[in-house]
Amino acid sequence: MSFDAPIPRPRPNKDLYPVDPVVQDLLKLSTFSSDKFDIKDFIASMSEKLIAQSKAEPGPFDPKPFIRTFESAVDVLIDLRKDVQKKTEREEQSCKTAEKEYSKKLSELNKGFEVRLSLLLRAPRPHSVQSVGKSFNGMESKITEVGRTAVRIGEQLESIHLARQRAQAAHDIVSYWNQFSRGDTTKIEALRKEGREGRQQVAVLLRRLTAVSKELDVKNATRARTELEKYCEKFEKDMLRLFDKSYRKGDPKIMKHCAQTLLEFNGGASCVQIYVNQHDFFISKSRVNETTSIEETHLWEILPDPDASLPKKDLGLAALLEDIRTTVGQEAQIIQAVFPNPPVVMQVFLQRVFEQSIQSHVEMLLEKASAISALAFLRLLQLAHVQISALVEDLRPYDLSAVMSASSTRAAVEGSSLDALETRDARGMGVALPFGTMLESAMEELFVHYIEGTKYLEKESKSLGELYLEYLTRFTKVHLMMRTKASSGGFLDRIANQLSSGTGTSLSAAAASSSASSAFAKLSGMASSMKLSAYPGSTASPTSPVPPVPTNSGAAEITKTTASATGGGQSESVNEADGVLNLETAERMLKWHAEAIGRCVEMSPSAELPKNVLTLTKVLAESLGAGYVEMALETAQVRLETRDTKTEPDISSSLAVIRVVDLICQLWQQYSSIALIPLTSSSVTGRREIMIFNGQTVSRIEGLANALEQKVIDSIVTWLSGQLQKQKKTDFKPRNDDMSFARVNTDPCIGCCDILEKVRDAAKENLSGQNLESFLTEIGVTFHSMLLEHFKKFPVSATGGLMLAKDLKSYQDTVATFGIPALDERFEFIRQLGNVFLVRPEILKTYITEDHLGRIDSRLLRPYLMQRVDWGQISFDVLLGPGDDLNEPETSTASSMAKVGSEAAKGLRERLGMSRLSVMMKELEGLRAYAATTTGSAATSGTGAAAGTQSTGTGGGYFSFGYT
């Protein structure tokens, strides 16, 4: 150590001015070596006596005594510094010497140890080394035993210390109890007035005395208990008054002291209640009068409209939740600074926020929405759930369980270990729940009244059913009036009965994200493109005037409207255009269903989601499937069945229904695969059930579409048959050759070609793919069979043969426009068959053995050859071969052609590609290979499903939507 050199000055004479003994004691080395040395105190001690003397002497202040004293002290300190410096130098020198000796000795020991260790490793171990090892082991065991003994002694000391503290606490309790029994509170009152520590000690004593008074039954116990209760009540009121006063002044230190004291006294629940109850957030006038803000929002105009885009938040609720976020952020800091148990206080505050502020606001909103419509209620319920869920996520960072103050933790430990006379429940407000669990429970309690059990699903199903029923009322009314022959108890009656009983469908209450509404948004554009891509040759639109949007006004009004539709004297006029099937209606119904599924995802537990999705899907199937698509198909069938057979059938309207049904089913399948089925991925059973249900629904619609298409085919065949019946016996055996040459075709041919062209145009406009091919193939094959049967009945002259050839060429050209290769080959055969009436007799045998006619047995051509006017002049042996019975072939051919006719009639009710085609071709052509070829092509065209898809349609049908 070093000091600054002193300034040279004249040294005072020590003999003339001796140093005061008090100052001499202060100038010793021990004074400066103390840890409590303070320079100010040192100067004050040296000057204390001089100051007193200066004050006692009259006259002006004389500094000379101070100068002499301080100069003498400085001289002594300089000498003392020199002595300390010399001593320090000596000690440093001796320390360096000792360090050198220590290092030298350590190196010598290290070398000796290494030498001895190497020798021990090389030489066999002597007995002395083993004994040394045993000594070390014994020493280690003794050290371990001593350590255990020390631990036992420490535990005993700790228990003795705790016993002493308990004894002291028991002594204090007995002492204060005796004072309370005498009505004397002076001692405890004096302790309370000692300040903060005194109040805390009083709180602990009162808590323990209260616990004792509940179990003690001795003399004067009643008086002591009464006095104790009075004093406890007074103490608590004083502390609460002090807390309230400091709370209003904004003094966090006093608030923290009061909270800690009351925590020690009775758990601090009353303190927390005062803090929460008097918070401005709960008592401000603007918060109390917030009900007026509900009337001012424009949300109520949007909620009942199912087509209106729902806003992402309610402005009033959003403002309240934002205020809560701000308030909680501020209060978290205050609670953490004031209360010793911040997690409990924060939970009490947030529970009050949820139970009072949020719940009252949500109840007012839902009550008003419920008065408007069920849809408004459900939409607002989802809106509130989404906003409050976001609030819960924003409040999670305010978990104060990790910042419990050390003092409260220490107090809890002391209370649980020292105080055996009281229970733990008497000390605090209880253990706080996990913060996240508390928030989730508070939010769940807000909505449990609306979603418990099957309440939510029942309301959702009923609302969706009401929307669909009101939306389809005009459509149903039109179809009920069209189906005058239909029996009662149709779809509308079933829905009305279900709605009046309060359930739209059977309920079965039973799991990222992502949602049904967004999935349907992808389908919205898909539906519009589907109208063009599915039917590229179409020019007409499958749409029609869309029914008006319902307002979900209730079941009573809907049932009343339905009753007027089915009864007499309708008060509301309907237009037939309201009953036209269109894709926009299906899109809108799917959109409403997607919104309901989105709400279901938000409000339903993950375990119940698959069953809830299936339930809502059944509501959709009942309305869109049975009430819309199936009703349109059934009405179209009824109209075909009850039409006047003398009038030409309306093919285009019936096929237009099938076209729209195809588009709706495709849209439904896409919607199911994109939006519904992924929501059931958490349940294998639920996924299988919804896939089976959708498959059955589409299969049922396919069956009705097949039935309608068969009705269309039957009506076309009936009309063709009627046109062929107009054929006259003289059409192909004319009397006036000039007039026959003047006509291009006969009247039946013109009528048949005209209807076939209309069938072709309507089919290509409304059908596509394999459905179009199977439909036109069935028409062409049936008409081919009818022509074969038809031309056996009319005699043909040489001139009439030309007319017949022109008719057959017209038939062939018209069917060729179908674009079906199998039909082209068939009608080429029938054209060549017509040429047998133009060929001269001498070359007739050569002609019938060539090309298509050469592939069949020539005897099968006998019924047609017999219609030649020169049939009697032809040599049968030359034409058909010797040894043939002229009557037997006729009988055989007649039976064959009768069989062909029966098979053709049967073909109208069989799926294309069955045995009818192969049998007919075998009988007509007699060539097995050719029959196999045409049968294979017909079977391919009659599959009714696109490549790569699996049809679930009913057997024996033509139409398939390819549901997989």
Residue 849 lies in a domain: yes
Question: Average pLDDT in the 464-479 region?
Answer: 91
Tell whether 686 and 785 lie within a shared domain.
no
Q: Which of 758, 650, 782 is nearest to 708 (CA)?
A: 650
- For 796, the 3-state DSSP assignment is strand
Question: Average pLDDT in the 792-799 region?
Answer: 88
Question: Which pLDDT score, from 0 to 100, does residue 113 have?
Answer: 67
Question: Which pLDDT score, from 0 to 100, does residue 656 have?
Answer: 92
Question: Which pLDDT score, from 0 to 100, does residue 153 have?
Answer: 85
Question: Which pLDDT score, from 0 to 100, does residue 268 have?
Answer: 79
Residue 366 lies in a domain: yes
Number of domains in the chain: 5
- For 327, the 3-state DSSP assignment is helix
pLDDT at 815 over 90: yes
Count other C-beta atoms under 10 Å from residue 430's C-beta.
12
Question: Which range is least confidently modeled, 107-116, 624-633, 767-776, 890-899?
Answer: 890-899
pLDDT at 678 over 80: yes
Question: Average pLDDT in the 759-768 region?
Answer: 92
Tell whether 235 and 349 lie within a shared domain.
no
pLDDT band at 293 (very low <50, low <70, confident <90, very high): low
Q: Which residues of 666-697 are buried (b: 16+ CB within 10 A; e: fewer)?
A: bbbbbbbebbbbbbbeebeebbebbbeebbeb
Tell whether 808 and 933 lie within a shared domain.
yes
Question: Which pLDDT score, from 0 to 100, does residue 879 have?
Answer: 59
Question: Which pLDDT score, from 0 to 100, does residue 859 have?
Answer: 79
pLDDT at 17 over 70: no
Q: 105 pairs with which residues across the strands?
A: none
pLDDT at 424 over 70: no
Tell whether 152 and 90 lie within a shared domain.
no
Instruction: Give me the DSSP letters along 806-819.
Output: HHHHHHHHHHHTT-
pLDDT at 615 over 90: yes
| CA-based max dimension of the chain | 187
Tell whether 625 and 585 lie within a shared domain.
yes
Q: Which of 504, 501, 508, 492 is nearest to 466 (CA)?
A: 504
Tell whether 604 and 705 lie within a shared domain.
yes
pLDDT at 8 over 90: no
pLDDT at 635 over 80: yes
Q: Could you report the per-residue pLDDT of 852-898, keeping only the tens digit for each?
A: 888 887 778 888 888 888 887 765 555 555 544 434 444 333 344 33
Question: Which range is least confidently modeled, 26-40, 248-262, 560-574?
Answer: 560-574
pLDDT at 502 over 80: no
681/859: higher pLDDT: 681
Q: What is the pTM of this model?
A: 0.65
Tell whether 344 and 238 lie within a shared domain.
no
Tell whether 91 and 144 lie within a shared domain.
no
Q: Domain boundary at 709, 727, 752, which?
A: 709
Question: Average pLDDT in the 543-568 region?
Answer: 44
Question: Average pLDDT in the 750-776 region?
Answer: 93
| Residue 841 exposed, middle or buried by CB count within 10 Å (0-12, 13-18, 19+) | middle
**% of residues, the chain, pLDDT over 90:** 24
pLDDT at 72 over 80: yes
Tell whether 150 and 263 lie within a shared domain.
yes
The gap from C-alpha 319 to its chain's centroid, in whole angstroms, comes to 26
pLDDT band at 574 (very low <50, low <70, confident <90, very high): low
Q: Could you report the per-residue pLDDT of 314-357, keeping only the tens digit for each?
A: 888 888 899 889 888 888 888 888 888 888 888 888 888 888 88
Question: Which range is least confidently modeled, 48-52, 473-477, 621-625?
Answer: 48-52
Residue 2 lies in a domain: no
Distance set, CA 816 to CA 315, 532, 765, 785, 832 (Å): 67, 26, 17, 16, 15
Question: Which range is least confidently modeled, 142-151, 186-195, 420-429?
Answer: 420-429
Q: Could you report the per-residue pLDDT of 86-104, keeping only the tens digit for each?
A: 888 888 888 888 888 888 8
Tell whether 623 and 772 lie within a shared domain.
no
Q: What is the 3-state secondary structure (H, E, C) of 423-485?
A: CHHHCCCCCCCCHHHHHHHHHHHHHHHHHCCCHHHHHHHHHHHHHHHHHCHHHHHHHHHHCCC
pLDDT at 847 over 80: yes
pLDDT at 533 over 80: no
**Sequence-separated (6 or more) residues with CB below 8 Å from residue 939:** 912, 913, 917
Residue 178 lies in a domain: yes
| Residue 146 exposed, middle or buried by CB count within 10 Å (0-12, 13-18, 19+) | exposed
pLDDT at 715 over 90: yes
Question: Average pLDDT in the 548-565 region?
Answer: 43
| Residue 287 exposed, middle or buried by CB count within 10 Å (0-12, 13-18, 19+) | middle
Question: Average pLDDT in the 665-692 region?
Answer: 92
Residue 12 lies in a domain: no
State the chain's mean pLDDT as an integer: 75
698/497: higher pLDDT: 698
Question: Which pLDDT score, from 0 to 100, does residue 339 have?
Answer: 84
The gap from C-alpha 305 to its chain's centroid, in whole angstroms, comes to 24
Q: Domain boundary at 687, 709, 731, which?
A: 709
d(CA 261, CA 338): 12
Query: How many residues comprise the chain?
Result: 964
Q: If you average pLDDT over each of 47-56, 819-828, 845-854, 862-871, which comes out highest?
A: 819-828
Residue 662 lies in a domain: yes
| Full residue range of the structural domain in which residue 647 is found | 455-466+502-545+579-709
**% of residues, the chain, pLDDT over 70:** 71
d(CA 867, CA 854): 20
Tell whether 459 and 438 lie within a shared domain.
no
Question: Which pLDDT score, from 0 to 100, does residue 140 have?
Answer: 80
Residue 188 lies in a domain: yes
Question: Which pLDDT score, from 0 to 100, does residue 120 have?
Answer: 57
Residue 784 lies in a domain: yes
Query: Token pair 């911040």 is at which residue?
Result: 342
Tell whether 68 and 166 lie within a shared domain.
no
Q: Domain boundary at 93, 121, 149, which?
A: 121
pLDDT at 179 over 60: yes
